[in-house]
Amino acid sequence: IGYLAFHNCIGIQSLVLPSSVRSIGENAFFRCSADITVDNNSNFSFIQNVLFNKDQSVLIQYPTTMNAINYTIPSTVITVGQGAFQNNVFLTLVTIPSSVDTIKANAFRFCRKISTITIPKSVVIIDSAAFYGCTMLGQLHANNPNPIYIDSTRHVFGGGVNLAACV
């Protein structure tokens, strides 16, 4: 499945990833409201409506239509994938475990209701626009005594995020 393959697939209600799917390009499900499931696929896993790679070290896609307000990323996850939570309008809190070391581009972009983010000390890379447009963000905690590489090519916390208001 290629880059932006299901971009803006508003009319599609569900997608099934058959066993023949071996890879998923970045932002493949960007602005896609379809429910995604895995059908006997040895490359991906699907747990509580969330799409992961097989060993669950990469969180690929959290459904934009899932109406939970809190989510705890499993401790098996090392990378929060590009656009993984992008455009979710329900989440107010996402708990990032200490197993995560990378937050890819657009991971939480336009998650407008997220009010608190705690970045554990294990995180060493935050890619471009990772928290762009998280306009309700009022508490940002970075528990890392070591430098975090923050992509400076695009605004990691841009798009109306008021960092001065963050604690």
Four-residue CA torsion sign, 71, 138, 155, 86? positive
What tens digit of pLDDT does each residue of 34-61 get? 777 777 788 888 888 898 999 999 999 8
Does the structure show a pLDDT above 90 at 128? no
For residue 76, what pLDDT is reported?
98
Residue 107 structure tokens: 């991971």
Does the structure show a pLDDT above 70 at 72? yes
Local confidence band at 151 (pLDDT 50, 70, 90 cut-offs): low
Range with the poorest average pLDDT among 56-65, 70-79, 144-153? 144-153
Residue 129 structure tokens: 């626009």
Residues 6+ apart with CB under 8 A from 167: 138, 139, 140, 141
Does the structure show a pLDDT above 70 at 62? yes
Does the structure show a pLDDT above 90 at 146? no
CA-to-CA distance for 33 and 15, rounded, in angstroms?
A: 10
> What average pLDDT does range 28-38 have in this prediction?
72
CA-to-CA distance for 32 and 107, rounded, in angstroms?
A: 14
Strand pairing class (93-95; 102-103): unpaired
Backbone phi and psi for residue 165, each to the nearest 5 degrees, phi listed first: -85, -10
